[in-house]
Each structure stands twice: as C-alpha cells, then as structure tokens.
Structure 1
Amino acid sequence: MSTIKEQIRADLTTAMKAKDTLVTGTLRMVLAAIGAEEVSGKAARELTDDDVLKVLARESKKRAESASIFAENDREELAAKERAEGEIIARYLPSQLDDAELAAVVDQAYAAVAEQTGDAPTMKQMGQIMGQATALAAGRADGKRLSAAVRARLQ
C-alpha cells in the first residue's frame, strides 16, 4: 500500500476523533478519488506513491479552480471552503518549485534537448523540452507554470 495513502487514512482517523468535520470530509473525498483511480481501467490495481501524488495534484487543482469560480460569482463562503480543502490536500503534496528552481529545471531540460539535437532548440522542440522538464520537476511544478517558463526560455 502507498505510504501516502496510509498517512491519509491515519490522519482521517485522527480528524474523526477530533471531530474536525472539514478535514474529515476532505480526506474522505481524497480517499474516494484514490479508490476510484484504483478501480478504473481494465484491472483493479494498487496505486504507487507517484500515482497517489497525481490524484492529489488533480484534486488540489479542482479545488483551486472551484474557488476561483466561486469568487468570481460572489460566493466567497464557498470559495473559502474550497481554498481550505485545497490547503488540506496540499499537506500531502511535495513543495512547489520557486521561480529560480523552475528556471534551473527549464535550463537543464533545454540543455538536454540541445545536446540531443546538436542545435539550439526552437519552438518546434517545445514538446521535447516539456517532456524533459516535466520529468525533472517530478510533480513539483504546475504544468501551466512550467509551460510558461519553457516558452519564455525559447523566445
């Protein structure tokens, strides 16, 4: 079993004993998403920590998008709830790269593609650079942020 999933289950038990309804509800939703991912596809399988992190990142992104939509529609109480749930989920995600670290990852990916092609990469090689940079970032940077950094480096 995934160690992250075990930690979430343990934290759920603690939250239930403390009668913390927000944390309890959020962790139950996260475990349901992990369970749904485990049974999706042709064969049921046990998720690895990397797979669980992908599910957590997806759930966190959903909360951020919902919060922004609620805020745009003057539903601040619902936006605050979504933000709070996102913060709870973020506890289990690796820390995000800051701008300097992100630039270093993009530079490293750029250099790797330049070495492979033997030429300075252009926008045509953006997909290759993104593939390298995504692997190097290992879930510690949002795809949109990573894409923007790669585009800036190529221009």
Structure 2
Amino acid sequence: MSLLEKLNEDMKQAMKNRDKETLGVIRMIKASIQNESIKLGKDTLTEDEDLTILSREVKQRKDSLQEFKSAGRDDLVKKMETEISIVQRYMPEQLSEGELSEIIQQTIQEVNATTKKDMGKVMSAVMPKVKGKADGSQIKDIVLKYLN
C-alpha cells in the first residue's frame, strides 16, 4: 500500500471518528505530496520522495515546537506534539542511538575521516543510509562526538 493510499484510508477513518486533528494533519501531508508531485511533474512519487516529504513535515513541526516552547505557548506546544506524533505514524521506525552510532562509526572509517573538517564528507555519506530513520541534528551531534 502506497503512502497516498494509506493516507486516504486513514483520512476516511478520521472523518468517521470525527478526529479533526488527525484529519487536518493528513490533509496537510496530502497537500505537500500533491505540491511535490506537481513540482516534479509526476503523477506518483517514489517511496524515497514520500519519505523526504514526511521528514520535511516533521522538521517543520519540530522547529515550530521549539519556537512555541521558548515563547511559553503551552497550548500550541501540545498541538505541535500531537501533529508530530501523527506524521511519525507514516514514517519508518526510527533508529536507536546505538544503531545510529554504529552506522556513523562505519561511515567514518569508510571515508577515512579524522577531524571536524571531514564532517561534510561523513554527513553526506551517512544521510542516504539513514534517510527518514533518524533526525539530522542527532546525527550531527554523534558525528561531532566521534570526530573530536
């Protein structure tokens, strides 16, 4: 089942359950997918492209979450946390910190990285391996830890 089919299925269920929050988030995801397919000039997107869109949606919400926390907007913080959890339902299972560290260590050895100057090489090699399965800032922190 493609992401779009799953979203349509869940949208129908959210309508039946009168779950406005879930329905709103699903509609936003579908709109992002639609916009991306128009931009790329395709009828259907690949799984990788779907994953990129979902990752972007989560990142936008996490950025908003930080803004709302710093502004003391607890009502909006709760809303963003709910939206993040809804979007994450459609993403692959996230890697644990141990699994991520292992992948990063292997990649550092593969690209022969030794200093912080090699960070770009390591990040560009790691990101395709963990696409959608880990947060970029978490990856960056772990890479920095190993390159010190």
Aligned to 2:133: 140
Identity of aligned residues (%): 33
Aligned to 1:117: none
Say whether residues 1:30 and 2:29 are aligned partners. Answer: yes
Secondary structure at 1:92's aligned position in 2?
coil
Secondary structure at 2:129's aligned position in 1?
helix
Aligned to 1:57: 55
What CA distance in whole angstroms lies between the structure 1 residues aligned with 2:130 and 2:88?
Answer: 17
What CA distance in whole angstroms lies between the structure 1 residues aligned with 2:44 and 2:138?
Answer: 30
What CA distance in whole angstroms lies between the structure 2 residues aligned with 1:132 and 1:110?
Answer: 9
Once the two structures are superposed, residues 45-76 of structure 1 have per-residue CA deviations (whole angstroms, 9 ceiling, x without a partner) of: 42111111111111111112212212222221
**Root-mean-square deviation (CA), in Å?**
1.6
Q: Which one-letter code corresponds to 1:69 in the other structure? A: E
Contact 1:113 1:121 in 2 (8 A): no
Aligned to 2:38: 39
1:95 shift after superposition: 1.8
Structure 2: segments with no counterpart, 5+ residues: none
Q: Which one-letter code corresponds to 2:15 in the other structure? A: M
Bigger radius of gyration: 1
Structure 1: segments with no counterpart, 5+ residues: 115-119
Secondary structure at 2:132's aligned position in 1?
coil
Note the 1:68-79 alignment, pairs <5 A.
68-79=66-77
What CA distance in whole angstroms lies between the structure 1 residues aligned with 2:120 and 2:127?
Answer: 10
Q: Which one-letter code corresponds to 1:13 in the other structure? A: K
TM-score w.r.t. structure 2 length? 0.91
What CA distance in whole angstroms lies between the structure 2 residues aligned with 1:131 and 1:111?
Answer: 14
Secondary structure at 1:95's aligned position in 2?
coil
Secondary structure at 1:137's aligned position in 2?
coil
Secondary structure at 1:135's aligned position in 2?
coil
Stretches of 4+ aligned residues off by more than 6 angstroms: none
What CA distance in whole angstroms lies between the structure 1 residues aligned with 2:76 and 2:91?
Answer: 23
Residues paired across the two proteins, number? 148
What CA distance in whole angstroms lies between the structure 2 residues aligned with 1:29 and 1:105?
Answer: 33
Secondary structure at 1:138's aligned position in 2?
coil
